[in-house]
A and B are shown apart, each in its own frame.
Chain A
Amino acid sequence: MSGFTQALTRGMWREIPPFRLVLGLCPTLAVTKSADNGLGMGAAVIFVLVLSNFFISLLRKLIPAKVRIACFIVVAATLVVAVELLMQAFAYPLYQTLGIFVPLIVVNCIILGRAEAFAAKNGPLLSIADGLGMGVGFTCSLTVLGALREAFGAGTVFGARVMPEAYQPVAFMVEAPGAFVCLGLLLAAMNALGRDAGQPPAGCRACGACYEAAARREGGA
């Protein structure tokens, strides 16, 4: 059972995305204007990631190696459309605020990255644990980043006031520049904290390369 726990907890700290595993930066930057947006986006990613890991792991023996990326994309896209429909039906305001980033979950490198690096090689149960761990880690990161930006940029967290009345909100934090700077500094803080300064997967040239890099790391571990 230790493999299961390991798969579950790996994504929550040791390889927590997007800090240790620099994947999926676009939604991280775009939707973290407030803590609840971050949480909502994270929930959508958990849903897609867990199910895509599960299905891909079930189908891994059937999928021919040459078309595996195409198959992964179709599975992920199906789940993303399902999330879009469900979100419209049950959480319309969230759908409105997340906007274009809901369909863009499909190109979030975390989804394809975990499919390639983990689900394609492991059983369904382990894959679910991995997806859940990574998803929860991602959600925590988004929520923390969102809470930070909301606290300094609007003086609230989850809509509740945390800063004293006299605090003058720094609009910089909720705008695009604040997103980049805030994430950069958090990343630096994580690096300073980590024992072996957790560098991003080597040579992360583009999202497509990320999962190759991740796969290599996985193979080595």
Chain B
Amino acid sequence: MKDYLLLIVSAVFVNNILLAQYLGNCPFLGCSKELGVALGMGGAVVFVATLATAFTWLIQTFALAPFGLDYLQTIAFIVVIAALVQFVEMFLKKAMPPLYTSLGIYLPLITTNCAVLGIAIIAQRKEMDFVTAVIFSAAAAAGFLLALLLMAGIRERYEVTRIPKPLQGTAIGLVTAGFMSLAFFAFSGMI
């Protein structure tokens, strides 16, 4: 139990997928202008990343590894994730319309979100077992959601702040991310 707790703290704070491992930066900068959008995108990533890691773990263990096809990992994972996103979208539309209306528009954008593929590959490279992999992926995606929400909070303030013209938009977003990342560095003393 203690191991899992440590894993979660490490994935959310110390090795934050966005601020320490540089994954998923495009949506981080693109979707962090309003809190509502950030919440939707982050929620969709948590949902899909957890599912995707579970599926890719099963595929790697039962379909690729036994036949020595490890080298096809990248192609298999991305195809699985793309297909999964399609199915999740269809399923949500039919079964859970309220959830679909809040997450729906973000789902198609997730296929090319490197955080999702990245988490699945990291879980594989660290040779985690199934339960660890699922917990890790949920925690890492939660870290993504956390960073996205914090960023959105800051950027909403920027709307009413005077920023030098060249720095407006993505540039100031990146600089802000840099200082957030510096703040998250402090967590590395925790473990």
Contacts and interface: CB of A to CB of B under 8 A. Distances in A.
Contacts, number: 169
Contact of B24 (A23, A26, A85, A208): A26
Given A200-B169, A206-B31, A73 B72 contact: no
B65 to A, nearest CB: 16
A159 interface: no
Interface residues of B, number: 55
Interface in B102-134: 106, 108-114, 117-118, 121-122, 125
Q: Which DSSP category, helix, strand, loop or mixed, fits chain A's interface?
A: helix
Most buried by A among B72, B121, B178: B178
Contacts of B23: 26, 30, 104
Interface stretch (B3-11, B137-145, B179-187): B179-187
Interface residues of A, number: 53
Interface string A178-211: 1111111101110110000101100111111110
A175 B37 CA distance: 29
Contacts of A106: 74-75, 78, 117
Contacts of B60: none
18 contacts: A25-B29, A107-B78, A107-B117, A108-B114, A109-B26, A177-B185, A179-B178, A184-B167, A184-B170, A184-B176, A191-B168, A192-B166, A205-B109, A206-B112, A207-B26, A207-B112, A209-B109, A210-B30
Given A107-B78, A176-B185, A206-B110, 6 more contacts: A103-B77, A184-B171, A192-B166, A203-B30, A205-B109, A206-B113
A108 to B, nearest CB: 8
A199 B169 contact: yes
Interface stretch (A75-83, A117-125, A133-141): A75-83
A211 to B, nearest CB: 8
